[in-house]
Every structure is written in C-alpha cells, then in structure tokens.
Structure 1
Amino acid sequence: MERVWQQPCASCSDGGASTPQLVLYNSLVDRKVPFVPAAGPGSKQISWYTCGPTVYDSAHVGHARNYLSFDIVRRVLEDYFGYSCLYVMNVTDVDDKIILRARRNHLLASYAAAATDSQQVFVDSQAALAAAVDKQQSKLAEAEAALAEAQSADCSGGGAEKRREELATCVAQEQLLLSKQEAAAAAAAELGAAAGVQQLLDVAGDALAVQLDQRLGATVTDPAIYRAHAAKYEAEFLEDLSALGCRPPTVLTRVSEYIREIVGYVQQIVDNGMAYAIQGSVYFDTQAFRAGGHTYGKLNPWAVGAAALAGECSDGGEKRHPCDFALWKAAKPGEPFWDSPWGTGRPGWHIECSAMASAVLGAKMDIHTGGEDLRFPHHDNELAQAEAFYHSCGCQQWVNYFLHSGHLGIEGLKMSKSLKNFITIRQALESFSPRQLRLMFVLQPWEKKMNYGEQAKEEMRSKEALLRNFFANVEVVLRTQKVAATGQRWEEEERGLAAELDCAQRRVHEALCDNINTQAAMGALSDLVKAANVYLAKRDGAGGPGPQAFLLRSAAAYVTRILSVFGLAPSPGDCLGFAEAPSTAACGGSEAVLDALTAFRDKARGMAKAKAPAAELLAACQGVPDAQATAAGSSGRAADMLAVFVAFQREVEGLAASGAPAWQLLAACDRVRDDTLVELGIRLEDKPDGSSVWKPEDPAVLRAEQQERQRAAAEARSKKLRSQLDLKTKELDKFEKLAALPSVQEALADKYSQWDPEGGMPTHDKQGAALAGKALDKALKEVEKQRKLRAPLEKKLSEDPACLQTLATEIRMLRAELEGLQGAASTGENGCA
C-alpha cells in the first residue's frame, strides 16, 4: 500500500503569512534593510568590527549605552538567530586626547608637588581660567556663526535640516562648556588667595593643565608616561565591560601593536594616488578620492565641509582642501612617535580602524558598529580610507551594514567627557545593578536617542521584581505540585495559557526580526508573565484543580531563554566547560581574587603574631588596591570574592589605624576563614608555617563544620558561664546573709548595756557595771570577732556602695546569656525556630 504524505505549506500553516525576515537599520541608507551575510544568504558566519574606546579617561554611561546595546544585538544574532560572529574591537591607545591628557596630568601633578605658595597658585589659577573662558567664548562664537550661516542658506531637504540640527546641538554644547568655565572662574575668585593649594587646584586644575602644557608640553619626552596612562584606562574599561556582563571580543586590537600595518596601509593609499605627504605628515586627498569614482561622506553627507562638525585638530595650513584629513602626523616635541617612510610620527585619528579591521577581516565586513557621534567624521573617513586602499579591487562598499547606537542624553545634551556632564560606569553601578542597567537598555530601541536619569532606577527594580516574583511563583508550583497526585487534564485555562505562550513566541520572533526590537520583545514577555499570573490566580482557589506544573515550566523556560539571549540571565555562551566542574562552579573564575585575598591575610596574620607596628600594617594595606585591580574578575562570583577582599582589607586597615591589639586582628582573620567564605564555598586552611591554602568545597559541608564549631564554642562558653554564675551566686548569697546580720551592738545587746558612741566599743555590762580589766578585754575580743565577720561586706561596700545590686545584675545577665545559648543549641538540634 502506498503511503501518502502531504507537505505543509504556508497557506495551511499560518494562513498565508510570510515568514519574518531579519532586517537591520543600516546607517548607510538610514532605513531598515534585509540582513544578508556577505558569505551568502544561507551562511551563519559573519564578521563584525566595533569601535572601541579611546582610553584617556574613565568610561561613562554613554559608552555603556553603546557597548551594552551592541552586546545585546550581538547576543541576539548569536544566541537567537544562530550566527557565529568574528567580533573585533579596537583599543585606541595612541591619540591626540590620550597624549594631551597624559601630558597635562603629568605636568599638573609636578606643579602640585612643587606648589607651596597659595598666593602664586591663586594668581596662576586666575590667569588660566580667564584664558579658558576667552577661548571658549571664541569657540561658541564660531559655532553660532556656523549655525547662522546654515539657517540663512537658501536650501531645504532632510540633509539641510539635519545639518542645522547638528549645528544647533553643537552650539548648545559650547554654551554648556562656557557656563562650566565661567562657574569655575567664579568659584576660584570666591575662594581667594587665602584658600589652600588643593582647593584651588580642584577648581582650576584643568585650566592650569592647559596653560602648563602650552609652556612645558615639549619637555615631556618619556614614552612610559603615555603608555601608563593608556594602560590604566584600558584595564579599567575592560573591567567595566566585565562588570556589565558584556561578552569579550574575539579579537582585541591596539593601535600601538599595529603601527607596521598602519604605515603600510597609508603607503598603499599614497601609491593609489589618494593621499599626499607634506612636511612629514600624510593627508587623505578627498578630491582625488572623488575623482576616482568614490563618494565621500556616505553616512553624513550634510556634515561634509562643516568645520564645527569635523572634530579635527589644526593642521597648520598644510592641507590642500579643507575636507582633507590626516593619515599620518609628523612627530612634535612632547609626543610619542614611530618611524615611517615620511619620517617619525604617529597615526592620525581615523586610519587605525581601517588598517586594523582590514588586517583581521579583509576587504569586506558584514557589520560595523559605533556610537551615533562617530558617523562623521570618523566612520565616513574610515570608509573612504578602506575604499582608497582597496581601490584597485574596485571596492565601493567596504562595510555592508553600519549600525549606530543612539545618543545617551543627560540634561538634554549628549553625555560626553569633553562636556564634563558624564556619569562613569562605576558611579552608575552604585545606583543600578548590572542587570538593571542592561534592562534599561533592553527596554529602549538601540538606534534611538534615550535619556539617563536616576528615576529609572525604581522602574528597573520594579520590572526586575515582576520577573523574580514570576519565577518564584513557578518554583513554588514545581516544588509543591505532585504530578502523580494531581489531574493533568487541560481545561479552558490551560488552553488559554498555552495560546498566550504561542503568541509570545511569535511576537518575540517578529520583534527580533524587526531590527532586533528588544523593547517589543520584552513587551511580549511581560504579557506572557501577566497571563501566567492570572492563570495561577484562577487555579489557586480551593476545591478546583491545581495549576499545571509542566505548562508553567514551559512558559518560565521560554521567558528564561529570551532573558538569557538579552544577557539578563545566565547564558550558555558565557560559560566554559562543564558547569558542575569544581574549578568553574565553586570558584567561578575568581582564582586571582582568592589568591590575592589569601596572600594578604597571611601577611596580616604574620604581622599580628609578630606584633608589628601599626605603621607597617597600614603600609601592607596600601598595596592591596593594585592587587584588586589585577584580580577584578570576569564573573559575578569573582565580584563577590572581590567584595569580601575589600571588606577584609578595610577592616584590617581600620584595626591598624586604631592601634587595636593583635588578638583583634587575628580574630578578624579567623572570621574571614570560618564565616565569610563559607557561603561562597571556599575552604581556607591555615598551615603550621603561617601560610594558608584555599580549596573549593560544597557550602553544605562547610556549613555543617561551621555549625559544629559554633556548637563547640557555645558549649565552652556555656561551661564558663555556668562557672561564673555559680561563683557569683555564692558570693551574692554570702554578702546577702552578711547584710542581713544585725549590727555589732545589736548582736551583743544581751551582754552589754552601754557603748562608747565614738569608738563603738562597750563600756558597761548587762547589769550596768563599768567594764574593766579582764571583762573589758573579753568585750573587745567579742566586738573584734563580730567585726571580722562583717569585714568582707564592708570592704565590698567601700569599693562599690551598690555592689549587691551590681552582683544581682551580673547574675541576671549571665543567666540570660546562658539561656540564650541553650535556646540556640536547642533550635539547632531540633532544626526549627
């Protein structure tokens, strides 16, 4: 018998609806276009280059907007759509900004170290701030003139409007900078010459550094100054990326490591007739480039020719055309340099990305990303350089998809280091958790502008709590619902929730296909969570069937999957090896932190045992921050370990500064070992030679050992308390009995009738006869005996008139502590509170 099978078709599966195709907003055409890999429609291999940081200062939340947003896009492409990305990121460690900042910081530090006369510092500050205000006024006037010219020009259209819009933003930025310079000048004037040197430098330091650089910049010749500056902020940036949960690049390129390739790249452009050398510098020839059949300014054509938008440094009038830009800059005093065919010098601003991306990815790449502010001139110049380099190959499109993240605004302007209106990533992470910060960007279209504000913190916490509560509710069902004992029949409620799950899956897929719209995808997940909560509420009533655990788990698993795609939950793509491997599960990539913590603790213990001076302990603490920076881990667990390290270091530092005895420091070392590290699954063993070793361990095992130590300590304490209680109870009983005794006169009243009021001695016997001779001696002995009996109480009362009350209070406290220990022991034994 012939078997019959009918192939499903679109019309019978989804009513004829077409399958969504992934589209991306491509800045090269400023619209959404279908995404097709360069290797072909069926390929899953794609190449990606992203502009990394210029490491001259701390990264801010505006940078986080760029790197987090594209980390989310990358995760969606990799973990949802299944692409394999060759992801390249550059680090600009040779640049005008780095050179200026490193040199100025060095000169200002030298000035501050030598400054002793606050009057002279005040005079220098006034002059520097006045010069800064004058310069900024000139820059504002230039920006206003450029805007006025653009507004009066007889032209219309999208390009003209965008040009005017960007020039207006430029004016606002220059106005902000001028207001900051004027505020600094006013603050310095208010401080006056009587202010301290550091107070003045805090206000006028930046302006002073500019003045110092103009006079002394050429004297800074040590290349280590520039490299150390860049290395510091590169390390900080990579730590920030790790703290934000961003996946590391496949390839990290540094300008200083690709000088040879950059020189060769520039030479090829010169050989192709699209660059020229003048006085040791090389400039890109935009007019020759256009004559060669290429288009200059593909991304921002309306910005070409606008000096206020070009962002280039002065060239000394060497360029043939105002639009030309430097590929290689001739060496100047006070700058790092390398050899080249045109003499010593260094790369220009843009050439690094073209050369390094070409060195790794070649003549064609799928995706190039960066911030919106890099469109022009940086990315437009990148494209021109690459097309000029590959001119003989007929290259007209080096990048297929240019993606630009929208600006992050604060107070209406782009967050920027140059505007000094930024919040560092580390400052932001004091208000937001990494997940909350990522969630804030997930809930915004990656290519649109957005504003940063502290008010978003509570909103993100609320949204995070909604998801946490959902997962907690599902966990309760999974833990409490026994499948064998409950009905599994689907009713209307189950079919409704299943339909909501199916709808959410379809909506998420459509949203992610539509330019990776994570905002819409999160909306679909939110609706699914609400539907599940409604279902749980309906099934929570008494007498009816309970909720279906399997169905709820499916819904929760899908929500978890999409959250993990966005980096909001742990993702398999972020882990290496087997999750249960001790070195991974127990240590979580925090080995370096644990090594540093152990070494520091060993040193502290050794110094405490040797009773080292407090100054030596404080000196040991000062070496810890470098270890922390080196050990800052690449996972949340490493961050937990680092927090323990920092807390312990601060405790040791505080004890040393207060001159605490050695036993307190040793007790702090014991607490880290016996308490703090237990929940982190780390066993710390002290060796006889004073060193220690850490080992990963099951926290349950460590908790059991901890409980046993606590039980033994409680038992020893109880024994000591009982002994103290017994002694003090007997002492109080003894003194209370003595206190209850009659006075000496009352005790001997049946033998003596009269007493000396001053000496307290008897003078007459019971019959009234005066005492003399042996009778008097006998009376004195009886009085002395009575006095000796009462002497301990009288001595105690002379030392502390309230001794009986004090003893009674101490006994009550001992009993209360003993009862507390016994109650805790009973709770531990019974396993209940």
Structure 2
Amino acid sequence: MGKLGGLEMIQLYNTLTKQKEEFKPQVPGQVLMYVCGPTVYNYIHIGNARSAIAFDTVRRYFEYRGYQVKYVSNFTDVDDKIIKASQEMNLSVEEVTAKFIAAFYEDTAALNVKKASLNPRVMENMADIINFVADLIAKGYAYEVQGDVYYRARKFKHYGQLSGQSIDALEQGASERLSVEDQAKKEDPLDFALWKAAKPGEISWQSPWGLGRPGWHIECSVMATKYLGKTIDIHAGGQDLEFPHHENEIAQSEAETGQRFANYWLHNGFVTIGEDDEKMSKSLGNFVTVHDLVKQVDPQVIRFFMATTQYRRPIRYSQANLTEAANNLAKLKTAYDNLTFRLKDATEAELEAEVKQEFAGYEQQFVAAMDDDFNAQNGIAAVYEMAKQLNIYAEKERVVKETITYLLTNFTKVLAVFGIEFSENDVKPDAEIEALIAERDAARAQKNFARSDEIRDQLKEQGIILEDTPQGTRWKRS
C-alpha cells in the first residue's frame, strides 16, 4: 500500500460533469489541490470544520496512496462581513482578521487538520488581483462603472455549467435580487462584481478605477492560478459555494488564462442540526463553534465523527451521534491498547505470514472503499475488521513481537487517513498507581480479595479502571 502502482484507479465524483471519473493528475504522482478557506470574521463553526476535515481526509488518503499533494487554502481577509465585524468590535480589519486566523489555526489543529502547503490572504495579493481584473477588462470580459468593475457573465459561453442552471433561470434569479442602484450600473442582471468602489471609512486600495477593494469571487481565481498554475487538478469546497462562487471562479479564470481552470470539482455536504435537518450556518444562528465544542468534547471524537462520513453526504449533528462516534473510537483505541500491552511478553520470531495475509486483505478492502470517491463509511468498516484481528491476536497465548509491530504500524497508517492518532503511552503511569496495582496483585495471589476489592474501588474513585488479563493487570483512565 501507498506505492505509486495502481494510483490511476481512484475514482471521484466531478461536480462539473455530474459523474464519477478516474482521477488522472497532470503530473503523475502529484496533486494540485485548492480548497476554499474561511472568511475570517468569527470563530469557525462545525459546518465550516466539515470542509476542512473532509478535504484534509481526502488529502491524507492521496498521501497514503503515495501522491505528493500541494494543498492551498485561502483566507478571505477582505469582505463586507469583516468590515461590519471590525466596526462592531471597534477594531481594525487587520486586527479582526489576525484574531480569527489565529483561532482558525488553533481550532483546526485541535481537530488534527494538517496545515495547508500555503494559506494565501487577499491583502497579500492585492497587486495580482488588480492586474487580473485589468486583464479581464482588456479582453472585453469586464467593464468599469463609477469605480466598480463587473464581469460580463453572458460572454462566457459555459456559464452555469457547474451548478447545472440555465442562463434564463440565472437571469431571473439575479433580476429579483438586484437593487435599483445595481440595475442602473450593470449591463446585464447576471453580471457580478470584480472590484467595488470604496465607501467612506472602509478599508481600500488604490487601483486604475479609484479606491476600492476586490469582489469576493476574484480572490480565489487569482490565488489558485498564482500558486498552483493556470490549470489545477482539484478545486474543492462546500456545496453552498457551487453557485455563485465557484461558477464565477471558472468564468473569471478561464477568460483570463484561456485554459481549463480545474479538472475536477469536489463539494462536501452540509452539517445539519435539529429534527428538520436544517443546514448549520452563521446566518441562521443555529451554529456551534469549534472553539467552544472542543472544550466540551474530545476533539478526536469530533474529528472521527466527521471524517468517517463520505465527504459528499450530509452529517446530522446531535449528541447521540457524537456519543456513538466516541464509543466506536474507544473500541479502536482498546484494540490498539490490547495489542500494545502484549509487547511486554512477546517472543522474538519472524513475522507470521498468515496474520500479515489476513490484515492485507482488510487493507485491500479499505483501499477499494476509499478509491471509490473516498467512501469513508465503507473504509472505516474495513478498519473495524482490522481492530477485531488485533483483539483476537492480542488474546493468543503466544504472540510475536515482529507481528505485533507490523499490525500496529499498519493499523496506525490507516487510522491516520481519518486524522486519528493513538499513542503507546497517552497517559504515563505514575508511581502511586503502579504501587497500588502491585499491592492488589499480591493481595489476589494471597486470596485476600477484600483488600484487592478495596484497592480497585480506591482507584476507581480516582478515575482509574483496572482490567485483569492473562498477561497481568492493565489500567486506563475513565
């Protein structure tokens, strides 16, 4: 596993073509991947975290299969919501964005999301954005009106292809949303802003069209092509970004470069909440921030809960589902601990071929599942079978160190795809606990069960759970 052989077998669902396709990167063994990041005006909620976790899991699987992944995810640090937040918090835009970028890194680190290869920011790429807009004007795809610059959507012949909407339907929807002021400025209701003239007191930059700031969509076109090239392998984000954000990215990018923008488009499902499965969002006020949740729930449980659902499916957030995830994760941890415990009495011998062969069969099931559009539910089912094998082997009277090491190493690699990491010594034993366990073992040997039970109860009050095994007494914190 993890070698380049057979990489072409990965299938993924391409939103652009509405079908599963064989993944063929531009450069064999390499993936150029752009994922839309957060608008940094508040703490991320678990709906935002879904995208980060889903595509971190996709990235990790590509790496497990032997690919090198260049993973770029932006920060939107210039936006109407940020300007509003800065006014409400009496802070500068720079101070607001610095605060919530730091919080994003802290919260995603708690969820074991790997840092992107690069996290570009709008403010750091303003000159490139202005040049990109100027190019679109020069090519006839954009026009300036009173300091605003708009993109001629109808001029791009594939507009609406990603979201699967007709130009007529899009035009009607756009007309209904337009203000009187916008109607007066735009040539066509479908046209969208590339550059916005500054309002008094707003953060702004000098441009050929006067003081202003970028529209929302242009930033990702500029940063994706700047840092990954004119054509990227995979562009990903939440389902809510299909239209208008990703639709507009395609129109802008392909008009400017003359090349296909992204070969594959991946979109993750929503996190829903409540009996009506309402989408979780800040605008609806029904969200739970990661910043608060990780103080109440083990972050590894949250990660496991979200990573083990296939990325395109919705996830229902509930306490019951979190509890189920915690129980399933505990079973995997127990299997890991059970086998780790046997290292102390394992014999030195060659790796047992039949054990390796059985585990390799489960690995093949895991790869087959994940190769099928990253089907995490079927993938984790194979991992549960691995855990059973670990438990069964741990109960054998004679175990081999080389075999245990093989099982633990490969079990760990598979778990890492889901962002789950176990340590051999998550909690270091302290001398007092070990002394009490030794005293209890001696009491049991002397058939002094009253003292043995007394010590067990004493440790239980301290949150220490004892487990008697043929190889000795084990303990863990409850």
Q: Which amino acid aligns with 1:348?
A: G
Partner in structure 2 of residue 304 of structure 1:
170
The reply to whether residue 518 of structure 1 matches residue 376 of structure 2 is yes
Give 1:37's match in structure 2, choosing from 15, 25, 39.
25
Q: Following superposition of structure 1 onto structure 2, how do residues 359-758 of structure 1 map, counting pairs within 5 Å?
A: 359-391=226-258, 395=259, 397-411=260-274, 412-483=277-348, 495=354, 497-537=355-395, 539=396, 546-569=398-421
Shift of 1:384: 0.4
* Structure (1 or 2) with the greater strand fraction: 2
How much is the aligned-residue C-alpha RMSD, in angstroms? 3.0
Shift of 1:33: 0.6
Q: Which amino acid aligns with 1:400?
A: N
The secondary structure found in structure 1 opposite 2:9 is coil
Larger Rg: 1
Contact residue 218 and residue 249 of structure 2 kept, 8 A: yes
Partner in structure 1 of residue 102 of structure 2:
235
Partner in structure 1 of residue 473 of structure 2:
none
1:262/1:570 Cα in 2 relative to 1: closer, same or farther (>3 Å)?
farther
**Number of aligned residues:** 421
Runs of 4+ in 1 over 6 A off after TM superposition: 308-314
Q: Percent identical across equivalent pairs?
A: 37
Structure-2 separation of matches of 1:244 and 1:403: 21
Post-superposition CA distance 1:62-86 (Å, at most 9, x none): 11111011111111112x1221122
* Structure (1 or 2) with the greater helix fraction: 1
The secondary structure found in structure 2 opposite 1:36 is coil
Contact residue 367 and residue 399 of structure 1 kept, 8 A: yes
Q: Which amino acid aligns with 1:557?
A: T
Shift of 1:305: 3.4
Post-superposition CA distance 1:653-703 (Å, at most 9, x none): xxxxxxxxxxxxxxxxxxxxxxxxxx8xxxxxxxxxxxxxxxxxxx99xx9
1:363/1:536 Cα in 2 relative to 1: closer, same or farther (>3 Å)?
closer
Tell me which moved more, 430-439 or 409-418: 430-439
Tell me which moved more, 295-304 or 319-328: 295-304
Structure-2 separation of matches of 1:267 and 1:23: 38
Contact residue 301 and residue 325 of structure 2 kept, 8 A: yes
1:364/1:436 Cα in 2 relative to 1: closer, same or farther (>3 Å)?
same
Contact residue 47 and residue 86 of structure 1 kept, 8 A: yes
Q: Which runs of 5+ in 1 are unaligned?
A: 1-17, 107-223, 541-545, 572-635, 641-678, 680-698, 704-833
Shift of 1:235: 1.5
Post-superposition CA distance 1:388-423 (Å, at most 9, x none): 1113xxx2x210111111111112111101111100
Shift of 1:376: 0.5
Structure-1 separation of matches of 2:174 and 2:76: 23
Structure-1 separation of matches of 2:177 and 2:400: 61
Shift of 1:101: 2.4
Partner in structure 1 of residue 13 of structure 2:
25
Structure-1 separation of matches of 2:341 and 2:175: 58
Q: Which amino acid aligns with 1:75?
A: R
Shift of 1:258: 1.0
Shift of 1:517: 2.0
Q: Which amino acid aligns with 1:59?
A: I
Structure-1 separation of matches of 2:193 and 2:102: 28
Q: Which runs of 5+ in 2 are unaligned?
A: 1-5, 432-478
Structure-1 separation of matches of 2:282 and 2:99: 17
Post-superposition CA distance 1:609-641 (Å, at most 9, x none): xxxxxxxxxxxxxxxxxxxxxxxxxxx9xxx9x
1:22/1:313 Cα in 2 relative to 1: closer, same or farther (>3 Å)?
farther
Shift of 1:23: 1.0
Partner in structure 2 of residue 247 of structure 1:
114
1:313/1:228 Cα in 2 relative to 1: closer, same or farther (>3 Å)?
farther
Post-superposition CA distance 1:279-313 (Å, at most 9, x none): 11000001222xxxx30022213273363899888
1:461/1:311 Cα in 2 relative to 1: closer, same or farther (>3 Å)?
farther
Q: Which amino acid aligns with 1:505?
A: E
The reply to whether residue 82 of structure 1 matches residue 66 of structure 2 is yes
Give 2:224's match in structure 1, choosing from 354, 357, 362.
357
- Structure number with greater CO (CA < 8 Å, separation at least 6) is 2
Shift of 1:553: 3.9
1:532/1:314 Cα in 2 relative to 1: closer, same or farther (>3 Å)?
farther
Post-superposition CA distance 1:752-806 (Å, at most 9, x none): xxxxxxxxxxxxxxxxxxxxxxxxxxxxxxxxxxxxxxxxxxxxxxxxxxxxxxx
The secondary structure found in structure 2 opposite 1:252 is coil
TM-score computed with the length of structure 1 as normaliser: 0.48
